[in-house]
Amino acid sequence: MTTEPEIITLDVEATEPPADAGRWARAWDAFERLLVRLGDRLNPILVKETRQALKSQQFLFTFALLLLFAWGWSILGVAVAGPGVAWGSHGENMFFGYFVILAIPLLVVVPFSAFRSLAAEQESRTFELLSITAMSPRQIIAGKLGSALLQMSIYLSAVSPCLAFTYLLRGIDLLTILYFLFWVTVGSLACSALALFLATASLIRQIQILPTIGAVLGAAAAAWIGILLGGVFLFEEGGSANFHDREFWVINAAILTAVVAYFAMVCEAAVARLAFASDNRSTRLRIIMVAQFALFTGWMTVVWILEQGFPAVPFMFAIIAGLHWYAMGALMTGESPVLSQRVKRNLPQSFLGRMLSTWFYPGPGAGYGLALCGLVATMLLMLVAMVLDDWVGFSRAARFWGRMPPISTFVIFGILGISYVVAFLGVGLLLMRAIRRVAPVGLLLSVLLQVMLVAFGCGVPMVIEMSSSMAFRRGYSLLHVTNPIYTLVEMVNRPAPPTQTPALLVLVPGAALVVFLLNLPSLARELRNVRIAKPRRVAEEDAVLAALRHPQPGFVPQNPWDH
């Protein structure tokens, strides 16, 4: 999006070894220079934090404690097992002990250190000095994550001799050890990313204490859940016996995909929080949202195939899709409608480009559009899948058992679901626009407004119903038309759609259409944003930098007459 500033660089001075130096000395010298060059390319934050960590008492204390516990557990374990350690099946218990010892620094200390590292930069105002250097917010977050990764690897290496020892015992295999190490590392990295995002929120003065509380509780919960899951897997669920099950690996791959997708989103959200106000903080997040949803769609397809067209899958998929795009829409509709000149310089130029990618550029209207497009596309995709299934007979078994609801039910469910999202997000957008005229507001208020709108939509009919004893006994009625949860559940839970369906199909889409039309002018205004030219000074510098990067080749004679 932005032009990278020129890197000021000079090759490391070649200090040639003396002529009489041996082959090994020369090789060592070359290796050393290579290391210096590599060190030069490292993230500055990683270098600084490594230097700090090596001198910090907190790191030394944690490391010493880890070693102490690991050795203590080794001695205790061997002592308890006695001579039986050589032939008995003690590997599992020994390994679990080491896993607990490792999980605490990895899931508590490392993420909390990452949180404190960024929060302290903001509290002591060193972040201000950092933010005006040539480092991008992405490099800052990458540096902090790199530092967390380095700490993890040091803790892992400290426990690795103990893990190697358990491999020599009976009752545990290499795959189980690697499986645990993989997930605890992934978990630690994910928690660190989340901690960094929380640290960026500590800038908001009104909620300054909440991120700290969140980080402490989150780290403790992560360690507890990690240890619990490890224990259940090892002692209750058969441990390595699961490795022969195809479904086990499918579930693991699906979880890993989700972790990677949310990791990318959390990191990008942290980057956006640190970015300069005139930067484009939205496009990458929107791309991730779509990619995340494409991955989810893929996994739901796999589940549907594996489950041989189990009828709950499309509905489950539609509900999650609705929630996903509603939540993302609530965030996106909180963005400022004013595009900075910096963002406008990169807007798509062609008609096709504007049609396809305007939705990915910042702005509440574009966000509203993206959420609706994403949701409609999902519903259409599911509908196509169901029609194809009906045609090919993929889920014959399910239909035989009478579980497959007709396609019409899904269509009604889809129309109502989309309409609710259109209406709620649209009303939120209208309210945000009205509030923005009085005071500057952000994403947090947009999300709060949506929560309040849904609570209002669900709560008011309930209050009215509860105040009337007759109505209370009647169950679902048109009074609940503003309650999306009750209405959609009624659609799925009954063998046939409720009697109010025709009225619902008029009222809910009608209301959605009205809200959509009310938002249309602002949406059109955002679509009319066009690319602006770079300022002359920027264009001049870009030309100079381009000439430096790609120098024009000098005259090269092609034949004898060219001279």
Partner 1 sequence: MIELSGLRRHFGATRAVDDVSFGVAEGHVFGYIGPNGAGKTTSMRILATLDLPDDGDALIDGFSVVNDPDRVRLRLGFMPDFLVTYPNVNVREYLDFFARAYRLRGHVRARAVQRVMEFTGLDVLADKPTDALSKGMKQRLSLGRALVHDPAVLVLDEPAAGLDPRARIELREMIRALARRGKTILISSHILTELAEMCDTVGILEQGRLLAVGTVDEIQGKHHVTPRRGVAVEVLDGADRLAAWLTGRDGVAELEVEGNTVRFVHGGDRQDEAALLRVIVEAGFGVVSFTPRRQSLEDVFMKVTEGRVQ
Whichever of 228 and 544 has its CB closer to partner 1, that residue is 544
Q: Are 200 and 274 in contact (CB under 8 A)?
A: yes
**DSSP-H helix ranges across 361-483:** 364-392, 396-400, 407-436, 443-467, 469-472
DSSP-derived 3-state class of residue 220: helix
Among 19, 277, 352, 533, binds partner 1 (CB under 8 A): 277
Q: Least distance to partner 1 from the beta carbon of 46, Å?
A: 10
Using rule CB under 8 A, residue 56 touches partner 1: yes
Neighbours of 562 (CB within 10 A): 8
Out of 27, 31, 40, 506, the residue judged to bind partner 1 by CB under 8 A? 40
Cβ atoms of 266 and 111 within 8 Å: the answer is: no
Instruction: Work out how close the CB of 115 gets to partner 1 at its nearest, in angstroms, rounded to a whole number.
Output: 17
Burial zone of 563 (CB within 10 Å; 0-12 exposed, 13-18 middle, 19+ buried):
exposed
Does residue 494 touch partner 1 according to CB under 8 A?
A: no
Q: Quick check: 441 binds partner 1 (CB under 8 A)?
A: no
Pick one of 135, 220, 287, 320: the residue that binds partner 1 (CB under 8 A): 135
Which of 74, 131, 257, 500 touches partner 1 (CB under 8 A)?
131
The identity of residue 209, as a single letter, is: I
21-29, 52-60, 419-427, 500-508 -> range binding partner 1 (CB under 8 A):
52-60
Stretch that binds partner 1, among 129-137, 378-386, 390-398, 400-408 (CB under 8 A): 129-137
In the list 23, 38, 79, 125, the residue contacting partner 1 (rule: CB under 8 A) is 125
548 binds partner 1 (CB under 8 A): no
CB 529 within 8 Å of CB 344: yes
Q: Which stretch binds partner 1 (CB under 8 A): 3-11, 210-218, 351-359, 504-512?
A: 3-11
Coil vs helix vs strand at 107: helix
Contact with partner 1 (CB under 8 A): which of 89, 153, 308, 341?
341
Q: How far is CA 214 from the centre of its chain?
A: 18
Distance in Å, CB of 447 to partner 1, minimum: 24
Compare residues 129 and 546 and give the one whose CB is closer to partner 1. Answer: 129
Q: How far is the CB of 502 from partner 1 (least distance, A)?
A: 53
Minimum separation from the CB atom of position 337 to partner 1 (A): 16
Q: How far apart are CA 492 and CA 410, in angstroms?
A: 8
Considering the complex, state which of residue 124 and residue 408 has its C-beta at the smaller distance from partner 1.
Answer: 124
Q: Of 134-142, 454-462, 503-511, 523-531, which segment contacts partner 1 by CB under 8 A?
A: 134-142
Count the Cβ atoms, other than its own, within 10 Å of residue 164: 10
Q: What are the CA-CA distances from residue 86 to residues 174, 366, 482, 490 (Å)?
A: 18, 66, 68, 62
Burial environment of residue 149 by CB neighbours within 10 A (0 to 12, 13 to 18, 19 or more): middle
* Residues in 514-543 that interact with partner 1 by CB under 8 A: 535, 537-538, 541
Q: Which is nearer to partner 1, 502 or 535 (CB)?
A: 535
CB of 536 to partner 1, least distance (A): 8
**Closest C-alpha among 88, 62, 29 to residue 152:** 62
Is residue 8 at the binding interface for partner 1, with CB under 8 A as the rule?
yes
Minimum distance of partner 1 from residue 60's CB (angstroms): 11
Return the residue of 66, 104, 130, 512 that touches partner 1, per CB under 8 A. Answer: 130
Distance CA 484, CA 490 (A): 10
* Count of residues touching partner 1 (by CB under 8 A): 44
Q: How far is the CB of 123 from partner 1 (least distance, A)?
A: 10
* Dist. CA 128–CA 274, nearest whole Å: 11
Q: Does 44 contact partner 1 by CB under 8 A?
A: yes
Q: How far is the CB of 237 from partner 1 (least distance, A)?
A: 44
**Would you state the structure tokens that stand for residue 361, as one six-digit string?**
């550029």
Among the listed residues 19, 20, 24, 55, the single contact to partner 1 using CB under 8 A = 55
Which of 31, 61, 224, 276 is in the footprint of partner 1 by CB under 8 A? 276
Give whichever of 126 and 308 is closer to partner 1, judged by the CB atom. Answer: 126
CB of 349 to partner 1, least distance (A): 19
Nearer to partner 1, 136 or 358 (CB): 136
Task: Determine the length of the chain.
Answer: 563
Buried b (16+ CB within 10 A) or exposed e, 531-560: eeeeeeeeeeeeeeeeeeeeeeeeeeeeee
Measuring CA to CA, which residue among 418, 422, 405 is closest to residue 492? Answer: 405
Question: At its nearest, how many Å lie between partner 1 and the CB of residue 269?
Answer: 21
Structure-block tokens of residue 468: 């009337």
Span interacting with partner 1, options 40-48, 381-389, 415-423, 522-530, rule CB under 8 A: 40-48
Diameter of the chain measured on Cα atoms: 105
**Exposure of 379 by Cβ count < 10 A (0-12 exposed, 13-18 middle, 19+ buried)?**
buried
Q: How far apart are CA 452 and CA 562, in angstroms?
A: 78
The CB density around residue 222, as the number of other CB atoms within 10 Å, is 21
Q: What is the 3-state secondary structure (H, E, C) of 378-409?
A: HHHHHHHHHHHHHHHCCCHHHHHCCCCCCHHH
The residues binding partner 1 (CB under 8 A) are 2-3, 5-13, 36-37, 40, 44, 47-48, 51-52, 55-56, 124-126, 128-136, 276-278, 340-342, 345, 535, 537-538, 541
